[in-house]
Homo-oligomer: A and B are copies of this chain.
Amino acid sequence: MTEQNHLLEEVLQEDKSLTDKQRQILIAATEMFAEKGFAATSTNEIAKKAGVAEGTIFRHYKTKKELLLSIVTPMMVKMLGPIIIKDMNKVLDKEYEHFEDFLRAMIKNRKEFLEKNLKVVQIFLQEIPFHQELREQFIEHVGKKVLNRFVQIIEHYQQKGQIVNIPATTIIRLTASTIMGHFATKYVIGAKWNDDEEINQMITFLMKGLAPEE
Query: Given the interface contacts A37-B39, A209-B206, does A173 sit within 8 Å of B166 by beta carbon?
Result: no
Query: Do most interface residues of chain A lie in helix, strand or loop, or is the interface mixed?
Result: helix
Q: How far is the CA of A47 from the CA of B173 in the complex (A)?
A: 41
Among B37, B174, B198, which residue has its beta carbon within 8 angstroms of that of A178? B174
What per-residue 1/0 map shows which CB atoms of A153-193 lie under 8 Å from chain B? 00000000000001000100110111011101100000000
In the complex this chain forms, how many copies of it are found?
A: 2
Query: Given the interface contacts A173-B185, A177-B182, A180-B181, does A40 sit within 8 Å of B130 by beta carbon?
Result: yes
Interface membership of A36, Cβ < 8 A: yes
A170 touching B201 by the CB < 8 A rule? Answer: yes
Q: Which residues of B contact A210 (CB under 8 A)?
A: 205, 208-209
Interface membership of A211, Cβ < 8 A: yes
The distance from the CB of A68 to the nearest CB of chain B, in whole angstroms, is 13
A198 touching B170 by the CB < 8 A rule? Answer: yes
Interface membership of A107, Cβ < 8 A: no
Query: Given the interface contacts A181-B180, A209-B209, does A129 sit within 8 Å of B174 by beta carbon?
Result: no
Q: How far is the CA of A174 from the CA of B181 in the complex (A)?
A: 7
**Residue of A178, A180, A198 contacting most chain B CB atoms (<10 Å):** A178
A37 touching B181 by the CB < 8 A rule? Answer: no
What per-residue 1/0 map shows which CB atoms of A35-52 lie under 8 Å from chain B? 011011000000000000
Q: Which residues of B contact A205 (CB under 8 A)?
A: 174, 209-210
Identify the closest chain B residue to A210 (Cβ): B205
